[in-house]
Structures are given as C-alpha cells and as structure tokens.
C-alpha cells in the first residue's frame, strides 16, 4: 500500500511517519502532485497557522491537487481545519471540502489552546472500528469546528465541538492519533483499511 503524507510547510509530519512505521507502512512525504494522486491513501497532517499554510498550498498548487483527490484522505489537526470552508484565523479561505467555519475557542472555556488528553465520543463510524464509544485522544489546538452534518465524533471543551468529520472520501480528526498511543494507532490502522 502506498501512503502519501502531504509536505506543505506545516509541522508534525515526522511523528505521523513514525506512527505509520509502527504499523509496518513506509509513508512517503511528498509535495509532488502525481505522487499524491497515485497514492492509495493520503494523510494531510499539520500544526501551525491556517493563513500561512493555505498561502503555501495556493502558491504550490497543492490546494487544487488536494481538492481533486478521489482516494481516502485523512486530515489531522490543522489538516482537518484546512478542509473546512474558512477559518477565523487570518481570516482565511480554506479548501471548502467540509462545510463550516473554524473558530477560535473563547477565553471563557479556560486555557486556550486546549493541550492534553480529552474524551472523544463517536457514532461508530468505521474510522473508530474496535474503539470504545468514548476514547481518550491527545489534543493541541486553539481553534475548532462546530458540530454539523459531517460530524462523526465530538469532544467537550467548554462545549461540544467536532473532533472528527467525514465527507465522501475525506476524513478528518482534530486530535493527534499519531500521539494518542494504542487507540490512535488503531484509528490510523482503520483509516488505512477504509
């Protein structure tokens, strides 16, 4: 199986590649449009600012490549947020694959960004196959997507928000499966078998 990890000037790719390695998969870190189009699966990770990340995607043409992919694609953290219509951060127009606007957590929720382990409650989507209905995952983010028709899991931080979404061949998680121990590994393995 050929698994491509999108290289686009946003952090966190090394831990994703190591997580794939632990599953016996050699991930290919690439910004090459042909390699991304020919991969069996594509992982779109990211840590950083939405505006700078989208600017880089647009300058390199990766925005159009990502939007055109037909195989399963998994957005992680910033990767999930960039799949939305827009982000307050910037503000920024994003890829528009999943409906919704990414908003900053209000200061009233407590510490922003949210950093640490939090419960994810899912609706038995195949991405969560074999995981309990409430599972601890590691989060690091100051922005969130509200619940909507594409929400397949929620997390509570002051209020419930979307911590996982699905739209056709696109899947996305706000948490970091690559940093979430055995339960995160299971989710990545599930994605590889979608």
- Any idea which residues carry the catalytic annotation? 77, 176, 178
Tell me which residue has tokens 């339960």: 183
**What's the alpha-carbon Rg for the chain, to the nearest Å?**
15
Whole-number Å distance between alpha carbons of 161 and 164: 9
Alpha helices in the chain (DSSP H): 13-22, 33-38, 50-60, 62-68, 78-82, 181-192
In 3D space, the residue among 157, 132, 10 whose CA is nearest the CA of residue 75 turns out to be: 10
48 alpha-carbon distance from chain centroid: 13
Tell me which residue has tokens 């799949």: 83
Dihedral of the CA atoms 191, 45, 101, 190 (nearest 10)? 10
């Amino acid at each position: 199986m050929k698994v491509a990890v999108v290289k686009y000037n946003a952090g966190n790719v090394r831990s994703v590649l190591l997580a794939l390695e632990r599953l016996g998969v050699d991930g290919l870190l690439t910004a090459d449009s042909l390699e991304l189009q020919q991969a069996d699966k594509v992982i779109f990770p990211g840590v950083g600012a939405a505006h700078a990340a989208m600017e880089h995607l647009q300058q390199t043409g990766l925005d159009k490549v990502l939007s055109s992919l037909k195989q399963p694609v998994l957005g992680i953290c910033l990767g999930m947020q960039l799949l939305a219509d827009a982000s307050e951060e910037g503000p920024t127009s994003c890829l528009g694959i999943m409906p919704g606007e990414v908003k900053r957590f209000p200061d009233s929720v407590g510490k922003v960004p949210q950093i640490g382990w939090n419960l994810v409650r899912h609706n038995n989507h195949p991405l969560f196959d074999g995981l309990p209905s409430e599972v601890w995952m590691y989060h690091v983010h100051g922005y969130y997507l509200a619940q909507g028709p594409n929400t397949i899991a929620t997390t509570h931080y002051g209020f419930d928000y979307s911590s996982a979404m699905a739209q056709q061949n696109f899947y996305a998680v706000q948490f970091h499966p690559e940093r979430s121990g055995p339960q995160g590994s299971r989710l990545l393995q599930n994605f590889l078998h979608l």
